Structure formats: C-alpha cells, structure tokens
Structure 1
Amino acid sequence: MSTGSHVIHALYTDDDVLMNAVKEAKKKHLHINEVYTPFPVHGLDKAMGLAPTKLAITAFMYGCVGLTVAITMMNFIMIEDWPQNIGGKPSFSYIENMPAFVPIMFELTVFFAAHLMVITFYMRSRLWPFKKAENPDVRTTDDHFLMEIDASGHDAQELADFLVGTGATEINLVANEE
C-alpha cells in the first residue's frame, strides 16, 4: 500500500535508541524530515547528515561590528567631540588613550555578538512572536523523542515494522501538512 503524501511519526523513549534508529534509517536511505527531542542529543546532527552550522562565523562578524562601533564611538566622543583631561591622560590622540578604552571595546564586542546572535537565531529558526508551535506531539517537550519520516513512495506497513524493529514505542501515520 503506497501512502502518497504522508509522514510517519515514530516515538522513542530513550535518546540512545533514537540515535541508533536514525543511523538505521539513514542506512536504508529513508528521508528524515525532522527529529523532535526534549533536550539536545549530542551527535544527532551528524547522524542525520545535517550540514555544519555557520553561526560561529556570524558571531565573529557581529563581534567585529561591535568592536568597530566601540572604536568609532570612543574616538568621536573622547577625542574629537568633547576631549577632557581625565586623570592627566592626554586627549589629543586615540592611540595614546587606547589602553584605557580596552574594557569598553571588549564589552561592546560581546554585547553586539550576543544580542545579534539571539536575533539571528530567532530569525533563522523562524521563531516569531505569537507563532503557533510546530511540535507534532506534546510528549516531546517532556520525555519522548519523535522521528518524522517521509512515507511517500514506501509501503506504510513495511516502514512501520522497520521502525518498531529499531525500538519505536509508537508509530503514527499522519497526512503531510506541507
């Protein structure tokens, strides 16, 4: 029996069993749409064959933006716009004052990287305010793990038997919402 446009939700109760099931499904060349877990499972992204993230590069670029803003701001405020003699420090050159500015440069680098990374994470994850949750089973927020497999072009019973063999405790055939 061909399933057409359906997905199979396989529920697991242990993360190690889930990890082995993902590896077995990949060996059978099954397309895993998504895996829902109550906590991060180490190595799951590699087992699913997901590409490595480029968020570290983004964080570095955001930190560079923060450092640039800090240097520009301090040079304008303390040297060009309103130079003041604070503690006998010369105020006619940024380079001579730079050691006193290092804490500000560090703080703005971290501030920009952290805040812009949070915004990037929410945008990349499509987590908008008031967005309806996409979690297919509420138990995955507590103690269950759900693997969603594309069932189109496969025999549903054969696929269900395979998933039970990998340790799934519950199998559900669901119409694909895409």
Structure 2
Amino acid sequence: MASKFIHAIYSDDDLLMQAVKQIRDKRYHIGEVYTPFPVHGLDKLMGLEPTRLAICSFLYGLAGLAVATWMMNFMMIEDWPQDIGGKPSFSFIQNMPAFIPIMFELTVFFAAHLMVITFYMRSKLWPFRKAENPDLRTTDDRFLVELDATNHNVEDLTKFLYDTGATEIKLIEN
C-alpha cells in the first residue's frame, strides 16, 4: 500500500499556529512542520515531548569537572609538584582556589562540545547528508505542514486545510 502525504503551505506564522491547533483538534497526524525560523510555542501545540538534551548537558558538565579534577590532581600534585608563587603542592585541597578557573573551563568545554556532537547524532545530521526539505520556500518565507493522509479522505482533508488558511496544498504519493 502506497503512503500518501499532504503538504500544506502557509504564509504567516500566526496562521500556522492556528492551523496546527485546528489540525490537532481534528485528530490528524502531523508528520513534520518546516519553518524558516523558530516558532515559539509550536512544539507544545504539536504535542512534542520536552527534550532531554539538558540532562545530557548536565552529565557532560559533570564529566568535564571530573576530568579537570583528576587531571589537575595528577599533574600538579602527584606527577610533577612544583612550588608556584609560594603555594606548596602537598594536597589538592590547599591548591583548590587556583584550580577553580580550570575546573570551570573544562566543565563548559565538555558540556558544549559533547552537546554539539549529541545534537548532530540525535538529529542524524551527518556530513554530506542530503537535505530533507520538501520545499525550498520554507527556508525563505513559507511554512509547510506535512500530514499523513494514508487513511483519510484526501478531498475532505484538502478542503479542511484550505479552511485553516493554507495557500497551497500538494498531494505526495510514495
């Protein structure tokens, strides 16, 4: 059985928000929404779950803090202790005020770099990957809502989408 999708194009972000609300009220499945800029509140209207990337960022920051603590303890206390500025290197705790900037910087470094890698892996944005944008106008000034129309009457769905303010509707069959 071939799958059918409908691409409804909207010209305004406020109109898009109202249309998404009406589409969700009618219990149609929205596959994806393509916008030229972030539309605040759209994720809640679509019913998307909150992201867990913040938890990953916190864990990556903890890993950076642990690496910084281990690295400074090993280099400055165990491996090659030096008397720098009259500060003895007998213990990590005595030198902790001098180590705080390094600990902060490595925490931020690990969180930032590992978050970028996690985002790319989660989004499946690999190098040389072909873009999946179905209509190039969504990178300029149009908004596109992709609906699954496999189990729906296409004529009724098309009429409903025109009533929500869609300026153009295309039927895509795979």
Fold shared, TM-score > 0.5 on shorter chain: yes
Please provide the CA RMSD for this pair. 1.0
Moved over 2 A (4+): none
CA offsets 1:73-127 (integer angstroms, 9 cap, x no match): 0000000000000000010100000110000000000000000000000000000
Residue of structure 2 aligned with 1:19, choices 17, 20, 23: 17
Task: Give the structure 1 partner of residue 105 of structure 2.
Answer: 107
Match of 1:40 in 2: 38
- Deviation of 1:166 (Å): 0.5
Give the whole-Å Cα distance in 2 for the aligned partners of 1:144 and 1:99: 54
Corresponding residue to 2:169 among 168, 171, 178 = 171
The TM-score with structure 1 as length reference comes to 0.96
Q: TM-score scaled to structure 2, two decimals? A: 0.98
Q: Helix, strand or coil: the match of 2:95? A: helix
Secondary structure (helix, strand or coil) at the match of 2:74 reads helix
- In structure 2, the residue matched to 1:64 is 62
> Match for 1:79: what amino acid?
I
Contiguous gaps of at least 5 residues in structure 1: none
1:126 partnered with 2:124: yes
Q: 1:95 maps to what in 2?
A: 93
Counterpart Cα distance in 2 of 1:4 and 1:112 = 46
Provide the C-alpha distance between the structure 1 equivalents of 2:42 and 2:74, rounded to a whole number of angstroms. Answer: 48
For residue 129 of structure 2, give the secondary structure of its aligned residue in structure 1.
coil
Query: Across the two proteins, how many residue pairs are aligned to each other?
Result: 174
Query: C-alpha displacement at 1:175, in angstroms?
Result: 1.4
Identity of aligned residues (%): 71
Gaps of 5+ in 2: none
- 1:9 alignment partner, one of 7, 12, 16: 7
Matched residue type, 1:149: L
Counterpart of 1:73 in structure 2 is 71
Inter-partner Cα distance in structure 2 for 1:116 and 1:47:
30
